[in-house]
Structure 1
């Protein structure tokens, strides 16, 4: 499967290199047309229906020419107007160039893989149109351009991630999904499927902190199992509960996963390990072993690699990102809080569950 994936990636890279030169000419042309249409329709003396007339004349004079419908000419105008503050057309140059100084002023933190002109030209005009219409900040647009260019997204894949607002949800959960999942799209789905913190308001915090750590974890597990429907609604969509203290045996050694789920969207088993205190690096080794056993003995042939989540009370996110990066199984770390952990003013603002049920 890995060899197939490598071949697929190589073919896609070759195709994208081939179209990059075409994109360069097309985007330059469309930017120029957009500037001409913008200047005359916004500030000039064009009357109503001028764009429709231009489109009609172009298609009549050049019948084999495609891409100059009324809507597409308007897209060219939007392309110019949205990028004009960032892109400049140098004198005596045929190509657009990035105004890097302006970009560095606007972008306060570097994006994953710095934007370069190659990224911009690697995606087609239809991709740019989708990004302009759906992503409204420069940072978000640069993010989607980079992701399209490096992961070879189709227009339809891009639409899916724009719809789910991937930019706003990316990277909130410390994880190693990008390095360990075989497909970039699967990795992005995994990031979007988990939060970095969960509110488990059905846990009685007063029962915790007074007992041994493993006893505390059983208290949390019992509360989750007793409220599993509520937990799944909190955890996210498309999760099905398989069981708690899920038993596996490897070479005569028994192992028990605290909670085991299956996610239909990810097509993956999801193992959740509950920890009542602060994150420890040793938890990752334990979870990595569980995931190896799941993939070897439990996972079906058509399913994607199993994913592990450590759910703990506290964590240092920077440390977790460092600790998880060299493991070879997809894992993430999230925290939870009960309603008692929240400030008094916020707890009072929460609606009473029984009253809410009556209203519904």
Structure 2
């Protein structure tokens, strides 16, 4: 039997390592599903017994004490956590859509969503996003506190007219109405160059705030057209949509002429950079402020997929905008592609 060459051995090692990582990941998922199922059943048993008997808080406290004594090497059986199991079952047992999804994310993530989100559609959004993007607990908390759900549903784009139907919902979920860049440590007054440099210095949290499915392609991305040079501020790639994302940074209010410039960039990207198996490029115009009516008119006749968003160093969605969220049935349909 001949010895493996260095290149063949390297390939074998890489394949074995990948297989081990895959097995570890699948094992962790299986353990998590079993743990969620256990907590679900404990919550169900408590609810079932409470329906037929008069139980006070002391019974759960006694149960917690007994379980901690009986299973000393297993954590998670504190009085507080057992009450959470009860609330967990109560919250989701009648929801046919969400009850299977909760097993897809960790218990700590479930607790955050259950306690911080009161609407079932909002919970569905964060459960699906956590599962898809692999958010840590802290990232999830940050996304909820920055109101990613509302900002995604309020986004302004022309995707219904410019994006193929099979990826339309995914495209809508890929662009927010507003982004929070509190990690950039920028002063209120800053130039476009300072904004770009701050983003490049913190690319990882920037990509996370953008949605988690983006990879960085380049900054000041050069396009040569008709012996002239043009530069796109930031170019990303969306792994799920399989398309290039051109981002233009503007430190002032949105102006209608920005759409024409973005259309020019997208046409050039599709002609010169896009690969044959990729979808058409999408543009995001990122401004400090915008008038929604002006944006609507500016995008109306655009033949390229463009979203217009704002950015804030710190922000909250005003109550009047919350009242403009799409109808629940529209939100449910949108989340089907998440």
Rg bigger for which structure? 1
More RCO (CA 8 Å, sep 6+)? 2
TM-score (norm: length of structure 1): 0.46
